[in-house]
């Protein structure tokens, strides 16, 4: 398996995980060290929840949690499609 196919598989697994997670509480623990130490929201707080909502098509909730979440979700999906298009010809030619 080449590196591109491996990274594509990891990315697909991450997207499936984000789609399957509870968008309002995607992780069962506090991830943000800044918020844990200071109690203040960091500039990225809410981005994971925003991406989860965007991947489900909940645009208003996504925007509410973090305006960049829609762009990040679109970038992730675009990257997955681009990587798939690059890996597919290699997979077909090796058979």
Which tens digit of pLDDT belongs to each residue from 29-88?
777 788 888 888 888 888 888 988 998 899 999 999 999 999 999 998 888 888 778 777
Can you give the pTM of this predicted structure?
A: 0.68
Query: What does the pLDDT read at residue 83?
Result: 79
Q: What whole-number distance in Å separates Cα of residue 51 and Cα of residue 79?
A: 15
26 vs 6, residue with greater confidence: 6
Q: What whole-number distance in Å separates Cα of residue 22 and Cα of residue 62?
A: 13
* SS3 per residue for 16-49: HHHHHCCCCCCCCCCCCHHHHHHCCCCCCCCHHH
Which of 39, 37, 58 minimizes the C-alpha distance to 18? Answer: 58
Q: What whole-number distance in Å separates Cα of residue 6 and Cα of residue 74?
A: 21
């Amino acid at each position: 398996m080449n590196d591109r196919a491996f990274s594509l598989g990891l990315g697909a697994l991450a997207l499936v995980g984000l789609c399957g997670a509870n968008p309002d509480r995607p992780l069962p623990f506090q991830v943000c060290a800044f918020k844990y130490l200071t109690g203040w929201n960091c500039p990225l707080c809410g981005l994971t929840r925003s991406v989860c909502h965007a991947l489900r098509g909940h645009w208003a909730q996504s925007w509410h949690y973090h305006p960049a979440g829609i762009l990040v979700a679109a970038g992730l999906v675009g990257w997955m499609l681009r990587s798939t298009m690059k890996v597919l010809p290699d997979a077909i030619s090796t058979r």
